[in-house]
Amino acid sequence: MSAENLEPSEFSSRQNAVLEQALQLLVEGGEKALTTSGLARAASCSKESLYKWFGDRDGLLSAMIAYQASKVRTVELHGERMTPAALREHLTVFAKDLLEVLAGDVSLALNRLAIGQSHRSGSKLGRLLIERGRRQIDRRAMALIDAGKRGGVLRFNDGDEAYHTLYGLIVSDLHVRMLLGEPSIKDSGKKAERAVDAFLQLYGTEKAKADIPALT
Amino acid sequence: MSAENLEPSEFSSRQNAVLEQALQLLVEGGEKALTTSGLARAASCSKESLYKWFGDRDGLLSAMIAYQASKVRTVELHGERMTPAALREHLTVFAKDLLEVLAGDVSLALNRLAIGQSHRSGSKLGRLLIERGRRQIDRRAMALIDAGKRGGVLRFNDGDEAYHTLYGLIVSDLHVRMLLGEPSIKDSGKKAERAVDAFLQLYGTEKAKADIPALT
DNA sequence: TGCGAACCGTACCGTACGGTACTTTTGAGG
DNA sequence: CCTCAAAAGTACCGTACGGTACGGTTCGCA
């Protein structure tokens, strides 16, 4: 367990504070509210420092995404024996977490920012957001699904396809609707459970399907 | 059959031509390429006309969404008897159409525009996009699903939930990924069929499940 | 032929932003 | 106490955009 995998922060604490302020401005007022002058004023730093640290405005936006991603720590799965009930519980927690993350202020603001910029610059921000922000979630889900297969609770050939199915069942079009400004969903807990039930019905082995309530 | 329900075009043909040019500019260069001066130059009209017709820039953006939505015509479902095979075929066509629409240049550009603006103005553009651009698709899918239920091929209590499940199975996270600039997907036809298979396995009655290939 | 409305082209205005330069302050090390 | 580098604060520049004003032009219509 060396120190390197802790991602050496990549930025100094002062810079992190400035990036935090930048995220706050972005959440409060959208992209047009995130001006270099405004950030310098709000964070009590000079514009010259901003350009020295981050290069230009695009560098600042990239740094914001990297900083936000660095705050997320993945939950590791201990090699526990995966019973149907345990898998179902883990999947449900994952589904609820996923919906909660996607509905978060900062997540929505950063996704809106990257999507709004995804025409220019070879969609650099978009790639960054997918790679740095999504990897943790993907790995957690894939670990769960693989554990389910090893435990004989799930059955599938293509793990990626199973994962994408799970993702679609959980999120459906909620993410895009939230990005478009629709107020958040009620009953996200219920929705998460229904999604997991459907997933188990599709990919569960017989012993997993035993206690799934009828979909209708 | 009065002329009113044909949506009196809402704009003159000259204005439609300008809106078409505006869409083209948006697709080519993103939002920052859609300036009033640039549009006036490209469409050979005066800025004064733009402001007379659409009020201000926001009005122009709204008009672009309304115009694009007015080009879509829903495919009506004749009251045909719905056999399992017919439903499956219809659903597959729907799934392919949906993926094709979402991957379209203009659709992506308008969604990016609305998402980028969804902080200001009470997300007016976002609501407009959902209501005017999505209704056709939703109604077509709901008609299909209802026909399947009436024909005894599908079984469910909540039609909306069934539809959202279908949508999630088809689209998964593809829409957001494309919005973020990821190049389009290969094998969208294959993906559509797998989604329909999964949907039928979840919501189909016995006679519908007969000819579903195994998911694994 | 003459009239009037709509419209084009262009010039203009105020503003606000990204980025740069310069002066002053801070604060850690010797 | 002195030094020096980093950073704050401020002023500045060029540009580009949204929006307005105005003179010239087209075109339907009487």
Q: Which bases of chain D come closer than 7 Å to a protein CB?
A: 7-11, 16-22
With the C-alpha atoms ordered A37, A41, A43, A47, is the resulting torsion angle positive or negative? positive
DSSP assignment string, A9-49: -SS-HHHHHHHHHHHHHHHHH-GGG--HHHHHHHHT--HHH
For A204, phi then psi, to 5°, come to -80, 150
Q: Closest Cα partner for A56 from A121, A119, A128?
A: A121
Give residue B210's pLDDT: 77
Q: Average the pLDDT over A138-149 and give the result.
A: 96
Q: Which of the nucleotides lies closest to A33 (Cα–C1')?
A: C17
How high is the mean pLDDT of chain A?
92
Q: Rounded to a whole number, what is the distance in angstroms from the first to the last CA of chain A?
A: 49
For A154, phi then psi, to 5°, come to -115, 155
* Nearest-angstrom CA–CA distance, B159 and B139: 12
Q: Average the pLDDT over A181-186 and give the result.
A: 86
% pLDDT > 90, chain A = 80
Name which of B57, B62, B108, B118 to mutate to probe chain A: the one with the most chain A Cβ atoms within 10 A of its Cβ: B118
**CB-based contacts of B104: which residues, under 8 Å, 6+ apart?**
none
Give residue B74's pLDDT: 75
Q: pLDDT 10s digit of each residue in chain B, 216 long? A: 333 334 567 899 999 999 999 999 999 999 999 999 999 999 999 999 999 999 999 999 999 999 999 998 877 777 778 999 999 999 999 999 999 999 999 999 999 999 999 987 678 999 999 999 999 999 999 999 999 999 999 999 999 999 999 999 999 999 999 999 999 778 899 999 999 999 999 999 998 887 777 666
Distance, in angstroms, between A6 CA and closest chain B CA? 27
Per DSSP, the three-state class of B46 is: coil
Task: Give CA torsion, residues B44, B49, B51, B54, to 10 deg.
Answer: -90
Q: Is the pLDDT of residue A64 over 80?
A: yes
* Nearest-angstrom CA–CA distance, A48 and A34: 16
Q: Is the pLDDT of residue A95 over 70?
A: yes
* Cβ-Cβ contacts under 8 Å, B30 against chain A: 118-120
**CB-based contacts of A59: which residues, under 8 Å, 6+ apart?**
none
Contact: A172, B168; criterion CB under 8 Å:
yes
Contact: B215, A203; criterion CB under 8 Å:
yes
Burial-class residue B66 by CB neighbours within 10 Å (0-12, 13-18, 19+): middle
* Nearest-angstrom CA–CA distance, B147 and A194: 24
Q: Which of the nucleotides lies closest to B38 (Cα–C1')?
A: D17
pLDDT tens per residue across span B93-119: 999 999 999 999 999 999 999 999 998
What tokens does A98 get? 């996923």
Q: Which bases of chain C come closer than 7 Å to a protein CB?
A: 7-11, 16-22
Give residue A3's pLDDT: 36
* Cβ-Cβ contacts under 8 Å, B194 against chain A: 161
pLDDT tens per residue across span A159-174: 999 999 999 999 999 9
Residues 57-76 of B with CB under 7 A from strand D: 57
Q: Is the pLDDT of residue A187 over 90?
A: no
* Cβ-Cβ contacts under 8 Å, A178 against chain B: none
Contact: A116, B179; criterion CB under 8 Å:
no
Q: Are the C-beta atoms of residues A66 and A114 closer than 8 Å to each other?
A: no
Distance, in angstroms, between B47 CA and closest chain A CA? 24
Give residue B99's pLDDT: 97
Distance, in angstroms, between B185 CA and closest chain A CA? 13
**CB-closest option in B32, B168, B203 to A168:** B168
Region at A56 (left for phi over 0; alpha for psi -120 to 50; beta for the rest)? beta
Helix%, strand%, coil% for chain A, nearest 5 = 70, 0, 25
Q: Are the C-beta atoms of residues B195 and A136 closer than 8 Å to each other?
A: no
With the C-alpha atoms ordered B105, A99, A62, A113, is the resulting torsion angle positive or negative? positive
- Would the Cβ of B46 be found within 7 angstroms of any atom in strand D? yes
pLDDT tens per residue across span A196-214: 999 999 999 998 887 777 6
Q: Closest Cα partner for A130 from B177, B171, B112, B109?
A: B177
Q: For residue A119, what is the nearest residue in chain B, using CA coordinates?
A: B30
pLDDT tens per residue across span B1-12: 333 334 567 899
Residue A154 bridge partners (DSSP): A204
Give residue A121's pLDDT: 67
pLDDT tens per residue across span A22-54: 999 999 999 999 999 999 999 999 999 999 999
Contact: B115, A161; criterion CB under 8 Å:
no
